[in-house]
Amino acid sequence: MGYLKKMFLNINGVDRILVCDPEKDNLAMVLRRLGLTGTKVGCGTGQCGACSVILDGKVTRACVKKMKAVPEYANIITIEGIGTPQNLHPIQLAWIVYGGVQCGFCTPGFIVSAYGLLQENLNPTREEVRAWFQKHRNACRCTGYKPLVDATMAAAEVMRGEKTMADLEFKLPEDGRIYNTHFPRPAALSKVTGLCDFGADINDKLPDGYALHLAVVQAGTSHARVISIDSAEAEKMPGVEKIITYKDVKGTNRIVLPPGNPVAKTDGAERPILVEDTIFRYGDVCALVAADSREHAREAAKKVKVNYEQLPEYMNALDSMAEDAMEIHKGTPNIYFELPVITGGDTEEIMESAPYVVEGSFRTQRQPHLVLEPDVSLGYYDEEGRLTVHCKSLALNATLTAMCPGIGLKPDQVRLIENPTGASFGYAISPSATALTAVATIATGRPCCLQFSYAEHNHFTGKRAPGFTNLKIAADEEGKIQAIEFDVAYDKGSYSEVCRVITKGIRFMCAPYVIPNAIGLSKAVCTNHCFTTSFRSFGSPQIFPASEQLMDELAEKMGMDPLELRYKNVYRDGDKTINGHTLDVYPMVEILDRLRPKYKAALERAKAEDTPEKRRGVGIACGMYNVTAGPNDHSEVALELNADGTVTHFNTWEDQGQGGDIGTLVHTHECLRPLGLTPDQIKLVQNDTALCPASGPAAGSRSNYMNGNATIDAANKLMAAMKKEDGSFRTYDEMVAEGIPTKYIGIADTSGLTEDLNWNNGQGKHTAEFTYGVFMSEVEVDVATGKTKVVGMTAIGDIGVVSSRQAADGQAYGGLAQGIGLALSENYDDVQKHTSLVACGLPFIEDVPDNLDIDYVESYRPTGPHGSVGCAELYLSAPHAAILNAIHNATGVRIYELPATPDRVKAGLDTLARGEKIVSKKYYLGCDLHERIEDIKRNPLIVLK
């Protein structure tokens, strides 16, 4: 044990005395022990800036600033010292008004950093603001950075005296309507002041000695047979309460996520909560150490020895689909789920006679979610004896059904609460971390805290499934698509979680274009890499690089402009999707018409700014995504009239930063406008399964649509009950006096709107609505290095009537930024190397252009709440494909394997310089496509009723 040191520090203008270990403690730890938990710890390695404070006038990353390097009597400013809810600083107000808050985990660090900038330079340019955030490593995964620069510039105007705080505030429209406006998020105030308690903040504020702290013992190999787990040495370590293995699990020790499809050759129960006899991937949890402190638990975890016999490791789908590959899960083939699409006539015959045919093979990577807040949870027994787990789940009720048999409890014995969450983008649909905390709480009988380090989090959580695609497109003399043939394999990693991803392959290949004739096959493949899970635009980013790049190749072959080729082929009134689905709206013609002048201007800019050393190019790509989880999607919410005339909305619209709070508020306010309520008269109680109805997961762009419709139902029921014969409304007291209930459940269901696909040919209306869009990218490629810089991005989307403009803008900007990462840098492939945000390729502010142009075509959706649908998924469907097309437009280099790292682009440039052609090698994806389709025709995958 080291020595302790007494120190005086001036913190937020007040002299404070503290005692610390100067060798072990860092500044973030000390500030958080003082209760100043607005200083967040994300990466823990100084890469994300969430821990930013001002130390003696300089922005400092507190998580890597050892106390021995902090001078005595130093002056420190944290987020809590910049402003309060009653007295906001202009920067904080600007962050609220300009949409700087989404998940909010990075918000305190950014505001502190902006404060440091404006103390030095009160009149910065946008470029200087961006350079400052880049220098200080302030990272954001949600906003796309542009709103943060907007907010900084607006705050500077107030601080210079050019505007007042009143000028800056959001102004309520004269009619009082907040639907379709930039009304701020309800949670923003607590987040900009650093007072929002995320998971680690809640855990750190528990009474001393109240909870046990957990540390994970993760597998250091990707495939092995476990011989023994030796915990003898670990059990002797200081503070250790218990070493927990699968033998301590009371239930089946399984996370069960059924594929929900009779065609699949798995029951979705292959994943253990804690490793039993086999390690299936690097990062599997072999044991949990429960100790009296986080430090003791981590030290003891290092002493647990996992003895194993190495097995063959199949690290990508191409290897595990090979004929000599062993079954990774005994009794289940490595290709365990496949679905075809068959429509129209003989594609082979059409291909042979078509004047224009293009084909290629494309590969997308295992994209990491790269949230800034590592996974964290808390388990305890509540006042009614229920096992309660605070977690990051985006599917609270689905988590109950998936994990309860595994932990040995019934769903009504478990309560799940979503903490304020530092983003997810899909990975939190997995119940795995929640199950670990539940198991430990049951095994020890004590409250348990689980907080992953960033590397542990990265190895433990699921990623986007890599995709392998072979695609062939035939067109007639005018460029109208006549037929397509495709084969796509999704590398699902070690477990089959959410394997329904493969339906996207047969639904969005070559969308949003009319495809009269098609055969295709989509399949899920097991490997020994990280399991894959939901990620924004789930399933479509794997296939748009193939279809959208081949559309450009087709245009080039024909001598036609890429936009005009798309314009010729997009859906028009009455057209059907590849699945035979007639649409409610047909906005693609208007979307492309709106893009055309922007596109022409971009081409002129590229031509003017192109040089032999720095090549400029422009690329476009169309995108499309479904709304709802498909057939039998269901949502329930509740509205209750309160004694003071306010209304409380109860739901489990899980908020991962996308805006479950503002979505709930705007729909509720719009529905209840006849009551004359102001926004502050609508109270929100969300994401506690003991208090709220089951509203379904925050996934598939379903929440706004499903919960909005359920809100309309609940509001209609409540107002009908309140309505008097004269048309006025009863008060709460009148309702009670007349024995009329004051709380009503609203329900929304897709029954009657959707149907299961025909699993033998992929035909059917599988979703209620769609979103549509086009993306344009402007890039600069450094010929000497191959490095690509995106200098501009445009997105024109149709997401129906925009319910919250601030939230929709944020989803658009964030989706474009993530698309840049997907195109150029992000990857989780090397388990030894890809352990951190930087190593995995997180885009920082100078990787994302300030030139982000967002526009909307608002086609009213007849089945949507107030004409709206959803928005999150659209904006990561195809922006990366636009970037790839822009690289080709600039250099002639076609990228067949993502990400388009500098070495890959440079290799392409070198190939062209040698006078050689860049070609893709066709993948063998476990079968011959034509033979397999013919076999399915003869022997259907399922006998239909």
Residue 27 tokens, joined: 């500044």
Residue 481 tokens, joined: 């698509």
* Residue 238, preceding peptide bond in cis (omega within 30° of 0): no
Q: For 734, what's the count of Cα atoms within 13 Å in the CB-facing half-sphere?
A: 9
931 is catalytic: no
* Rounded Cα distance, 927 and 915, in Å: 34
Q: Name the one residue in this structure whose structure tokens are 């030290």.
A: 299
By CB atoms closer than 10 A (0-12, 13-18, 19+), residue 235 is middle
* Rounded Cα distance, 43 and 28, in Å: 12
Q: Confirm if 310 and 224 have CB atoms less than 8 A apart.
A: yes
Q: Confirm if 490 and 264 have CB atoms less than 8 A apart.
A: no
3-state SS, residue 181: strand
* Rounded Cα distance, 512 and 502, in Å: 18
Sheet of strand 14-20, all strands in order from the earlier edge strand to the far edge: 14-20, 5-11, 75-77, 52-55, 58-61
Q: Which one is catalytic: 873, 897, 916, 934?
A: 873
Residue 312 tokens, joined: 């063959």
* Rounded Cα distance, 36 and 855, in Å: 40
3-state SS, residue 30: helix
* Rounded Cα distance, 55 and 72, in Å: 12
Which value, in Å, is the radius of gyration of the alpha carbons in the chain? 28
Handedness of CA 755, 757, 758, 759 (dihedral sign): negative
3-state SS, residue 501: helix
- Distances 698 to 134, 267, 540, 705 between C-alpha atoms, Å: 31, 24, 18, 11
Question: Beta partners for 763?
Answer: 758
* Rounded Cα distance, 517 and 498, in Å: 29
Q: Which residues contact 911 (CB under 8 A, 6 or more apart)?
A: 893, 917, 918
Residue 490 tokens, joined: 């999704």
Q: Confirm if 438 and 407 have CB atoms less than 8 A apart.
A: yes
Tell me how many helices (H) and strands (E) the chain has.
26, 30
Q: Confirm if 722 and 729 have CB atoms less than 8 A apart.
A: yes
- Rounded to a whole number of angstroms, the distance between the first and last alpha carbons of the chain is 71
Nearest-CA neighbor of 692 among 649, 726, 729? 649
Q: Confirm if 624 and 635 have CB atoms less than 8 A apart.
A: no
* Catalytically annotated residues: 873
